[in-house]
Structure 1
């Protein structure tokens, strides 16, 4: 069975994607910082028959990243790496004039540096896979200028560029930066707590990720909304 590492997998998009892959027979290594919630997610997927290894920790910790890849190795290696864990930089979001520099450093460390560190750790296994794939979860804030989203958007823009370069440097892999669009997640609620407008559940965009895995287009940046419309 193919093996996926998914960071930020205890809830939201990470959990929804894990559930979809489990339904397809994937073995999973799941990461999140909150061990109790992560264990609950793993138990739910195991009840459906999936093989799941839950490894709680912080992706900015090199030892934790090594543990994730080692756990995948015990299941057969890394076929898919999904960098979904994210930090906002400030909760709620603030204008750049008020953005704590330490918050920006945290966003860059989680969203970019840790993502690259995990790729570096997993690269030998990804290269050995017949379908080695890296997915970095992006945001429309990486490409559009939205007030108060400057720090988070800058980190996602950096992640997008890193993914693009990785795709050039590793032609044997598929490297996709995916903008999932608006979703009702804890991250968004923390970013804009006063926004009461209804937003779609993360499960609604998972078919876009599955389409990429099925069709394996060229490395690049993709928007979930476009994939969903084209796939109808």
Structure 2
């Protein structure tokens, strides 16, 4: 691989930005397509499909064969709330290869005993998110029902390129949440990014079922067409 291509690839990887290395099979000629530039590429539809799959593979376009090497950051889920739903989410997320981080300043809830092997940040969200960072391969989920904990996280997520934002609560609860976010300066378009009610509509009742519905919606959003905010 050309040294300049390798340098660019490593820079995108370090910044948790996706790329596709396009190699023309017959000639060996390579070029790097950054996710932000994907829509303008002649192979845009093929690149988008391959990137959403998260896997590398061979494709053909107009009689020319290519190998598309996908480099996508590991998707992760950042949750406010060390609650029963997030306890159920933890083993499911691991099976789905989703990195899970849980933020909750209530140290009685955010304990290694309740969340073995999970990244725990027993801090207020505005401080914890400075450590974690939020990007286009991060899903943010608010689960506490406590505006003091959920709202700062939601505000940070809405200012970021998170590919998914969801918040637990009834329509009435979300209505009050919308009022608070509008008072904080967010408009209807921005607030419309929040999935509320959260999760796929599967009639979920128990914490495990709600966790399944949330993760299902996250995976569906991750593998569907990406919304670019920049």
User: What's the TM-score, normalizing by structure 2?
Assistant: 0.49
From the two aligned structures, give the one with the greater helix fraction.
1
User: What's the TM-score, normalizing by structure 1?
Assistant: 0.48
From the two aligned structures, give the one with the greater strand fraction.
2
More RCO (CA 8 Å, sep 6+): 1
